Amino acid sequence: MPNWLGDLVMATVLLERLAQHPDVEIHVLARRRWLPLLEGDPRITSVIPYDRSGRHRHWWGTLKLARSLHGKGFRRCSSCRPRSASASCPR
């Protein structure tokens, strides 16, 4: 999910579209500051904290995160971030 509140609100359109498919589980990766806004949303299966200034910092933190998600069985993702780091999400 995006870093800024306005972007987060606009990204809810993606959640709405994905939720129209009953066989889709929605797991959201978001910064800790946005977790209270996302937790409890019935469309979201789980919310995964993203620690941009800590353990997920720099390219190796992003790589570790991608490997961790892959190890948990995640194979596809949709990114709302316009950065090249988003390209490391599992495919």
pLDDT per residue rounded down to tens, the chain (91 residues): 556 778 788 888 888 898 999 898 888 888 888 889 888 899 999 998 888 777 877 888 888 888 888 888 887 777 776 654 444 455 4
- The whole model's pTM is what? 0.72
* Domain positions in the chain: 5-88
Three-state SS at 27:
strand
Phi and psi dihedrals of 3, rounded to 5? -85, -25
Which of 34, 40, 29 minimizes the C-alpha distance to 8?
Answer: 34
- Burial of residue 47 (CB within 10 Å: 0-12, 13-18, 19+) is buried
CB 46 within 8 A of CB 28: yes
